[in-house]
Amino acid sequence: MALTQEQLSRITKELKRVYEGLLEDIRNEQDASGNTQIAELLGRVPADSGDISVADALVDLNVELIDRHVQGLRDVEAARQRLAEGNFGICADCETNIGFERMLAYPTARRCLPCQETREKMFAHKATPRL
C-alpha cells in the first residue's frame, strides 16, 4: 500500500526534525570537542605520554561521533531524494512497501524489516572496531 499524502507529510516533518537534530549534535560535538580537556591535559607540567595518549583518544572519539552524525545527514538527504523521485518507502532489496509505522519510526530506512534483519545477520560478522 502506497503512503498517503498525510503520511508523506508526517514523514517529511520527521526527516526535517532528524536533520536539524543531527546538525545540532554536530555543533554540540564541535563545541565540546575535548579541546578544553586536551588543553588541560597538555597544559599540565610535566605532560607525560599517558596524557598525550588520552588527548589523542579524545580527539579520535570526537571525530568518530561527528562522522556518524554526518552519515546521518547523508541518510536524510538520500531519503529526501527518494521522496522527490517517488520511490520512498520501497524496500531496496525486495521492492515491497516498507510500511508507514517503520518509516515514521526510522524515516531513513531503505529496507523492510525482514530484509533488514536478513542483511544484519549476513553482515554481522564483518563488523570491526573503528577505534
Residues 92 and 110 sit within 8 Å (Cβ to Cβ): yes
Write out pLDDT tens, residues 3-39: 899 999 999 999 999 999 999 988 888 776 655 554 5
pLDDT at 45: 47
Residues 55 and 59: their CA atoms lie apart, in Å, by 6
Q: What are phi and psi of 90, to 5 degrees?
A: -110, 130
Cell triple for 40:
588541560
The CATH number assigned to the domain with range 5-126 reads 1.20.120.910
Q: Is the peptide bond before 107 cis (omega within 30 degrees of 0)?
A: no
**Which one of 62-76, 82-96, 112-126 scores highest in mean pLDDT?**
82-96
Residue ranges covered by each domain of the chain = 5-126
pTM of the model: 0.72
